[in-house]
Amino acid sequence: MKTTLNLNDALLTRAKTVAAQQRTSLTRLIEEGLQLRLKDAPRARAPRALPVYRGKGGLIAALTGLSNKAMLDAADE
């Protein structure tokens, strides 16, 4: 995958020098650095499914759920 990075000039120059000394590509050097940095990083977790109540019940017949006042009044009873 191709991407664009904005790197500090001195850092890039040093990285190119090290890559040349090690006879590897700048891409490979950056990949190795990312692998080292991410090795111990926590992995993203899959989102948890929310629990869903599947029991019986619901609103009493007189409530439609469209009126906050009616819901609050019913809760007070």
Predicted local distance difference test score (pLDDT) of residue 53: 80
Could you tell me how far CA 74 lies from the centroid of its own chain? 41
Predicted local distance difference test score (pLDDT) of residue 67: 80
Model's pTM, two decimal places? Answer: 0.54
Predicted local distance difference test score (pLDDT) of residue 10: 96
SS3 10: helix
Query: Cα–Cα distances in Å, from 68 out to 30, 32, 63, 65?
Result: 57, 58, 10, 7
> Does residue 20 sit within a domain?
yes
Rounded mean pLDDT for each run of 10 residues along the chain, 77 residues in total? 93 97 96 93 88 79 77 80
> Does residue 32 sit within a domain?
yes
Q: How far apart are CA 77 and CA 68, in angstroms?
A: 15
> Does residue 74 sit within a domain?
no
Predicted local distance difference test score (pLDDT) of residue 5: 92
> Does residue 54 sit within a domain?
no
For residues 76 and 69, the answer to whether their CB atoms sit within 8 Å is: no
> Does residue 49 sit within a domain?
no
Predicted local distance difference test score (pLDDT) of residue 66: 79
> Does residue 30 sit within a domain?
yes
Question: How many domains does the structure of the chain reveal?
Answer: 1
> Does residue 19 sit within a domain?
yes
Q: Domain residues for 16? A: 9-38
